[in-house]
Amino acid sequence: MRAPRSVLKQQFLKKWMMGLQVFGSAKQSMSILERKKAIKLSADIALASTRAGRTCWSRTIIADASKDDDGKVLVQHLLSPESERLKKASTGLAMENKRVRCKKILKRSCCIKRVRKGASKVVLAKSISKRIVKRRTQVLKSLVPGGEFMDDISLIEETLDYMVSLRAQVDVMRRSLAKATEVVNGK
C-alpha cells in the first residue's frame, strides 16, 4: 500500500517544485503573503495535475486557476503536454456547470414544498434528518471544488479522491517544511 501513495506524493512534489521554480525565477522579492499565495497556488495546481482530467475537482481547480495570469502561467508550465485537452475540458466544464446550475435554480424555484399536517413523529423525525443531511451535503459541496454541480453519488466519490489527495499534499508539505527548517537551522 505504501508504494502507490508515495508515487502520488512524489509526482505531486515534482510538479510543485516545477511550479515554484516558475515563481522563483520571476520575482525577486515578494512579501510573505505573496509567497504564501504562490506556494499554495502551485501546490494546488500540482495536486490537481496529478489527477489531471479525471476528476471533477481537479478540473475545477485547473479551470479556476487558469482565469488569472499567475495561474495560467503555472497551468501551462505544469501541464504542457496535456494542457490542450485539459483546457478544452475545463472550459467545457465551466459551460456545463453553468447550465446545470441554472437548471437547478429553475427547479428549485418551481418546486412547492407541501406542508404535512398532522404528520406522525416518525415521519417528522425522518424529514428532520433528511433536512440535516441535505444541509450537510450542501456544505460538503461547497468544500469540494466543483462539487456544486454533482449529484450525491459522484459527490461522495469526488470527496474520496479529494481527501486522499489532500492528505498526500499535507504530508508532502509538512515534510518539506521540516526539511526547510532543518536547513535553515543548520545554517
Partner 1 sequence: MINRALLPAGGGENMLHCTDMTVLERQRARIKWQQEQQQQFQLQQQEISYFTELADVFHQAGVHEGGLSEVVTRSVKPDPGLVDNGWNNDHVVGYGVGLPYNNGLGFELNYGAISRTSSCPPEAVAAVAEATVKGSESVVSDMISSGAGRESSKKRKVDKIQNNSKVVAEEDTRDKRIKGCAEQGESKITEKNNNKNSRNNNTNKNNNSNKENSDETSKDNSKVSEVQKPDYIHVRARRGQATDSHSLAERVRREKISERMKYLQDLVPGCDKITGKAGMLDEIINYVQSLQRQVEFLSMKLAAANPRLDFNVDNLFAKEAFPACSINFPTIGMSSDMTNPAYLQFNPAQQQLVACCGLDMGIDPPDMALKRTTSAPVSIPETFLDSSCFTQTHPPPTWDADLQNLYNVAFDQGRQTSFQTQPFTGDVKLSCLFLSALY
139 binds partner 1 (CB under 8 A): yes
Q: Does 95 bind partner 1 (CB under 8 A)?
A: no
Nearest to 26 by CA among 66, 83, 77: 77
**Which helix (H) or strand (E) segment is 127 a member of?**
helix 121-143
Distance, CA of 150 to CA of 157 (rounded, Å): 10
Q: Which is nearer to partner 1, 6 or 77 (CB)?
A: 6
CB contact at 8 A, 82 and 62: no
- Total binding residues for partner 1 by CB under 8 A? 78
CB of 40 to partner 1, least distance (A): 4
Q: Point out which span in 69-77, 91-99, 101-109, 112-120 binds partner 1 (CB under 8 A).
A: 91-99
Based on the shown chain and the rule CB under 8 A, indicate whether residue 98 belongs to the binding site for partner 1: no
Instruction: Report if residue 153 touches partner 1, rule: CB under 8 A.
Output: yes
Residue 102 is a binding residue for partner 1 (CB under 8 A)? no
Name the E strands within the chain. Answer: none
The CA-based angle 15-54-108, given to 5 degrees, is 125
